[in-house]
Structure 1
Amino acid sequence: MLKDFYQKNPKWCLIGAGGLICVLILGFFFFYHANGEEVEVKSQQITEQKETKTQNEPAKKEEKNSVVFVDVKGAVRNPGVYQIPKDGRVKDAIDRAGGLLSEADPSSVNLAQKLKDEMIVEVVKKGEKGSSALAGTTTSTTEKAESEKVNINQATAQDLEQVPGIGKAKATAIIEYREKEGLFTKIEDLTQISGIGEKTLEKLKAYLEI
């Protein structure tokens, strides 16, 4: 019946074919558009994940480099290893360890000294000497210094004064330089101190360390 109809009315046949083509085109368009949006969404999600990962990596690295680990020993309430901000001072490390005990000698440490990673902060009791101090009465000053070197980044002015070639003036200058410029990175940095030249430095190397 339809065959006879289209044979008698060929224009309707053309209209029907045209309509079918339109339907196919519209269907293809909607299918492609929907899939395109899905691909675009997935692509955007992947890009956002990569950006988030890239942003997080520097943040983690920066966080790791912004702290130091310090070993607090001696006359403090809670001795141990503490994580302190990189720009922290000895006082901050002692505070994290619970503060000084009543029998502690505050002058045995430099509370204003800048902290360094793996640094040891030792607070001694009043009347006692720390492990870095040159103690004893049966050996000469030279023998004591050579047997146990003084760490110029941790030593107090009193410790430095006991080193041959460093008097009160040089000891004070070393402490002041350390507080102003930061920790020494090598023994040779001592030549920045007034009164310490190359010859003096060679003699001091036997008694000092970083």
Structure 2
Amino acid sequence: MRVYISGEVKRPDVYELPVDAILQDAVRAAGGFTEAADEVRLNLALPLSNGMHVHVPNQTEEILVEPAGGESSPRPSATSAIININTAGLTELELLPGIGPSTAQKIIDYRQENGPFSTIDEVQNVSGIGPVKYEQILELITVQ
């Protein structure tokens, strides 16, 4: 698969990586972070997909990941690129696109009533999360 990594890496470019590559693999291929990189804000275990664009921010930029298809979106959190829906609180869940206070509370209520989510798909059982909203958050959430 091919991934474009830009920003605060030593050699920004498009890299051919294995299909199971994670962000750490792309950073290594790009020669590592520059001194200005704000690497603590990135989840180096983030799985990559073909055609993805990852922009490594400096300390004043937002984290940007552009999925294959060209729609760019800022990552949800200053501390993690992926939100664990089994452990996230109200404030963290609200960082997800399309998730306001009401839906965030519904995710927490669902988790408390049914136990932890076993798969990401299960979040679609939460009232207020339909196919469109699910697609918006799919690559931003985890259950592990």
Correspondence for 2:125: 197
Q: TM-score, normalised by structure 1?
A: 0.41
Correspondence for 1:91: 24
Structure 1 spans left out of the alignment, 5+ residues: 1-67, 133-147, 182-188
Correspondence for 2:87: none
What amino acid maps onto 1:192 in structure 2?
A: E
In 2: Cα distance, 1:150 partner to 1:190 partner: 20
Structure 2 spans left out of the alignment, 5+ residues: 66-71, 84-90, 112-116, 140-144
Secondary structure in 2 matching 1:113: coil
In 2: Cα distance, 1:190 partner to 1:90 partner: 20
Give the alignment of 1:1-210 within 5 angstroms. Answer: 68-131=1-64, 155-157=81-83, 161-163=94-96, 164=100, 165-166=103-104, 190-193=120-123, 197-202=125-130, 205=133, 208=136
What amino acid maps onto 1:200 in structure 2?
A: G
On the 8 A contact 1:104/1:123 being kept in 2, the answer is yes
Following superposition, the deviation at residue 123 of structure 1 comes to 0.9
User: Highest CA radius of gyration, 1 or 2?
Assistant: 1
Q: Identify if the C-alpha distance between structure 1 residues 127 and 160 changes in structure 2 by more than 3 Å, giving closer, same or farther.
A: farther
Secondary structure in 2 matching 1:110: coil
Deviations 1:33-54 (A, max 9, x none): xxxxxxxxxxxxxxxxxxxxxx
In 2: Cα distance, 1:75 partner to 1:149 partner: 18
Answer 1 or 2: higher relative contact order, Cα 8 Å, separation at least 6.
Answer: 2
- Percent identity (aligned): 25
In 1: Cα distance, 2:20 partner to 2:135 partner: 28
Q: Identify if the C-alpha distance between structure 1 residues 77 and 150 changes in structure 2 by more than 3 Å, giving closer, same or farther.
A: closer
Deviates more, 1:87-96 or 1:200-209: 200-209
In 1: Cα distance, 2:135 partner to 2:49 partner: 21
In 2: Cα distance, 1:86 partner to 1:128 partner: 28
In 2: Cα distance, 1:69 partner to 1:159 partner: 31
Following superposition, the deviation at residue 206 of structure 1 comes to 8.5
Aligned pairs, number: 109
Deviations 1:62-107 (A, max 9, x none): xxxxxx1001011111111000111221101111011011111113
Secondary structure in 2 matching 1:205: helix
Structure number with the higher strand fraction is 2
What amino acid maps onto 1:102 in structure 2?
A: E
Deviations 1:81-139 (A, max 9, x none): 0001112211011110110111111133220122211111221111321346xxxxxxx
What amino acid maps onto 1:114 in structure 2?
A: P
What amino acid maps onto 1:116 in structure 2?
A: S
On the 8 A contact 1:75/1:123 being kept in 2, the answer is yes
